[in-house]
Amino acid sequence: MSQNWTLTRTSSPSGLAVSLSEVKAHLRISGTAQDSELTLLVEASTEKLERDINRGILQATWQQAQQAFPDCQDAIKIYMGNTTAVSSITYVDSDKATQTLSTSLYSFSVSRGVVFNEGDNWPETDIATASDKVFVNFTAGVSDADCLPRLYKQAILMETGRAYFDPAQEAQTNTDNGRSYELLVRKLIRSSYP
């Protein structure tokens, strides 16, 4: 069955993927006058990378909403890479009541997704409406920025620098136009990259 789904972050990471000292060294900035702006740019660049490579970067919670459970005993595929745990699954049943699926009924693994443990099928959902009826709450990303692959950090630094040095304000001195960032993203979206 073809699934329609959406991803929403439900909590923010507790820190930065690239520290202020790293971004200041990269941009050759000293002092603290621009710390708030730089923090915002690092956060925005991290979110952009997450969306571009479809992987959680720093540990945060997410919700995947979809119209139905998969057919029969098929697994629920989580459409965010670097998922580490599924905390709950709620759904709208055939009586239009919201239910929470017992955690004993399913299990999660990175390779298989969320699988139903029992011999039957996933529960029945309300089929009268076309709205989302299944909500998978999960955690994705690493808990320690020091554990991030260096290519992630480099992509975030490059995108932060591109946003910081707006070519319109720098007399067109920034001629890269994001090409280096895009090349890194292409490498990171390969299935063979960790």
Residue 111 has pLDDT above 80, yes or no: yes
Residue 9 confidence (pLDDT): 94
Q: What is the pLDDT of residue 184?
A: 82
The pTM score is: 0.83
> Residue 193 above 60 pLDDT?
no
Q: Among positive and negative, which fits the CA dihedral 139, 145, 151, 156?
A: positive
How confident is the model at residue 73, as a pLDDT? 79
Backbone angles phi, psi at 161, to 5 degrees: -65, -40
Per-residue model confidence as pLDDT tens digits over 120-138: 789 989 887 778 999 999 9
Categorize the per-residue pLDDT at 1 as very low, low, confident or very high, splitting at 50, 70 and 90: very low
Residue 106 host element (H or E): strand 106-109
pLDDT at residue 137, as a whole number: 98
Which residue bears the tokens 């603290």? 32
Give the pLDDT confidence score for residue 107 in this predicted structure.
Answer: 94
Considering only 58-62, 169-173, 186-190, which range has the smallest mean pLDDT? 169-173
CA distance 68 to 124: 9
Q: Which residues contact 161 (CB under 8 A, 6 or more apart)?
A: 26, 27
In the prediction, which pLDDT does 3 show? 53
- Other CB atoms within a 10 A radius of the CB of residue 113 amount to 19
Percent with pLDDT over 90 in the chain: 68
**What pLDDT shows up at residue 2?**
46
- Comparing 1-5, 9-13, 163-167, which segment has the lowest mean pLDDT? 1-5
Query: Over the stretch 150-180, which tens digit does the pLDDT of each residue have?
Result: 999 999 999 999 889 865 555 555 556 778 8
pLDDT over 70, % of the chain: 90
pLDDT band at 188 (very low <50, low <70, confident <90, very high): confident
Integer-rounded Cα Rg, in Å, for the chain is 20
C-beta of residue 157 within 8 angstroms of C-beta of residue 18: yes
